[in-house]
Amino acid sequence: MDAAGKMEKVRGKHPVEDVLYERLVDAITDKYLRPGQHLNEVKLAERYNVPRSRVRRVLERLRDEDVVVFELNRGAFISRPTVEDARNVFEIRRHLENLVVRLACERATPAEIELLRENLREEREAFAALRPDFNRIAAHFHFTIARMSRNPVLEKMIALLIRRCVLVQSVYERKTGFLCLTEDHGEMVDCISRNDPERAIELMTHHFDHIISSLDLTETRRAEIDPYEFAS
């Protein structure tokens, strides 16, 4: 291998970067990592036995998705969305999810509908047991519908918006424990299975009304979350 080849090998993307990225995304979705929490590059590099440069690339990827912010001389932190951010994110996600569910009604296969039903069963079990991965399973329900749209652009956009919505919920959710939306999901599966897009869109709209009603979208609530509470 020539010098150029060696340089490409060093600089190229390493599989562990995807592993670290997915672990961080899962931790955010499960709300182990909360808005304002510090992400220590040194500790992450040691944990995954990789150079800090690779950790930095993963954090920069999350920064580009508005999930992480860098503060001068302090490092990387989980983003802490403003009230305006929260309203904007939910506004666009509501419209995109309505489009996604319409396309899913038209394009879903019986096998994909069965995958949705399996996801729904797992979601109900996780909620009943108050498992910490409940939010991730519920988010996966929406990922699955997005894949049914057969539109990779929509799928990617929904994935990014779901992560940002999780951050919004982490900051602004009312102190009422898990929000159970499994019945909303169940009715949506039935609509998709019988190709009823109008009712599916109606349910999706109600679904987001339900989520937003569970939030306290005020500056007072945001101020209660200390951005340095988790710093280390």
- Domain annotation for the chain: domains and CATH numbers: 3-79 (1.10.10.10), 83-220 (1.20.120.530)
Higher pLDDT, 61 or 178: 61
pLDDT for 222: 86
Check pLDDT > 70 for residue 7.
no
* Entry pTM: 0.84
Asked if 55 and 44 touch (Cβ cutoff 8 Å), the reply is: yes
Mean pLDDT across the chain, nearest whole number?
A: 88
| Single-letter amino acid code for the residue at 2 | D
Percentages helix, strand, coil for the chain (3-state, rounded to 5) are 70, 5, 25
pLDDT for 182: 83
What number of other Cβ atoms are within 10 A of residue 65's Cβ?
16
- At 119-151, the pLDDT tens digits run 999 999 998 898 989 989 999 999 999 999 999
Q: Predicted confidence band at 113 (pLDDT cuts at 50, 70, 90)?
A: very high
Q: Predicted confidence band at 16 (pLDDT cuts at 50, 70, 90)?
A: confident
Share of the chain above pLDDT 90, in %: 76
Asked if 168 and 81 touch (Cβ cutoff 8 Å), the reply is: yes
Asked if 58 and 17 touch (Cβ cutoff 8 Å), the reply is: yes
Radius of gyration from C-alpha coordinates of the chain? 19
